Homo-oligomer: A and B are copies of this chain.
Amino acid sequence: MGESPASGADTVAAIGEFGLIRQVTAGRAQPSTTLLGPGDDAAVVAAPDGRVVIATDALVEGVHFRLDWSTPAQVGRKAVAVNLADIAAMGAVPTSVVVALACPPDTPRDVAAEMLDGVATEARRVHVGVVGGDMVSADHIMISVTALGDLGGRPPVTRAGARPGDVVAVCGRLGWAAAGLAVLSRGFRSPVSVVNAQRCPDPPYAAGPSAALAGATAMIDISDGLLADLAHLAEASGVGIDVRSDRLTVAERLVDVGSALGADPMHWVLTGGEDHALAATFGSPSDLPEGWEVVGSVVADTGVTVDGDPYDREPGWRHWM
């Protein structure tokens, strides 16, 4: 896990649960939404809207991350990012996270501390408080985060509101994390921009609330892949979706990586997960806020097609496989 075997004094077992949590929260400024921070039985967070949005997602070593591919800080950031993206996908502004970190007792103290630092770093980027945590002993590292958000008086944007005639739009990167995974899987470590996209996503958090304000009829976080997640949205809305491949941007960097690896970059764009872009439907192309691009349309049908046809390769990745 670390470069060298952990000596007894530098492990999480030696410093203990309370020490580590204190270390990561001590001296960190909390946003104004944190009314009572960590250290008590529970925290208290402002919920000015009178409703609170809540999402939870966990990352497991060897399944969702590898510490020979990512730094502990990148893993901590990613664990927060995937949850904040879920909050944004409801049209809400994230306010706080809590984190449960499981790791073997002989985990080097620095590994656990850097992971928690990554949690705090990603949270601070968007003025989100790290308001609580739990540390437990386990055979593998697992980091489970729960995020809260505030709707600011807006209705939540669910997956279920898309109507035939709506346009389908995307904000954020597609295919980058999949390209990064392909690079890492072959033992390479560059290009760094692509590899880092796999190590930690850069979700367009603010695009969620702005889409909600602009009247998005449905929205989803793209965690499993564009086609897979649009299929979830289409199913929840009882509609079909047709994606126009000529509207999808394939970044030059992905074209380069595709050439080098003999892979089709459009496949990464259509099916790659873990970028945590947002997809939403709008009544009209003129409704789209800045940063959103039309990539298709909602039709009175079921399922998802690309340029009118079913996509004949495995759409998105599955858990448990």
Task: Give min CB distance, A24 to chain B, whole Å.
Answer: 14
A47 touches B51 (CB 8 A): yes
A320 touches B17 (CB 8 A): yes
Known contacts A50-B47, A142-B142: does B41 contact A136 (CB below 8 Å)?
no
Name, among A53, A92, A131, the residue most crowded by chain B CB atoms within 10 Å (CB to CB).
Answer: A53
Residues of B within 8 A of A219 (CB): 41
B12 touches A320 (CB 8 A): yes
B53 touches A43 (CB 8 A): yes
B53 touches A44 (CB 8 A): yes
Residues of B within 8 A of A134 (CB): 56-58, 144
B53 touches A50 (CB 8 A): no
Name, among A43, A47, A133, A148, the residue most crowded by chain B CB atoms within 10 Å (CB to CB).
Answer: A47
Among A94-102, A188-196, A298-306, the stretch in contact with B: A94-102
A214 within 8 A of B: no
A48 within 8 A of B: yes
A55 within 8 A of B: yes
A13 within 8 A of B: yes
Write 28 A-B pairs (CB below 8 A) sorted by A numbering.
A13-B320, A16-B319, A36-B156, A40-B156, A40-B159, A41-B55, A41-B219, A42-B55, A44-B53, A45-B52, A45-B53, A54-B98, A54-B148, A55-B132, A56-B99, A56-B132, A56-B144, A57-B100, A58-B136, A60-B102, A60-B138, A63-B136, A63-B137, A63-B138, A105-B320, A137-B319, A144-B144, A146-B146
In the complex, given contacts A42-B149, A144-B144, what are 4 additional A-B residue pairs having Cβ atoms less than 8 angstroms apart?
Answer: A35-B51, A43-B53, A44-B90, A56-B100
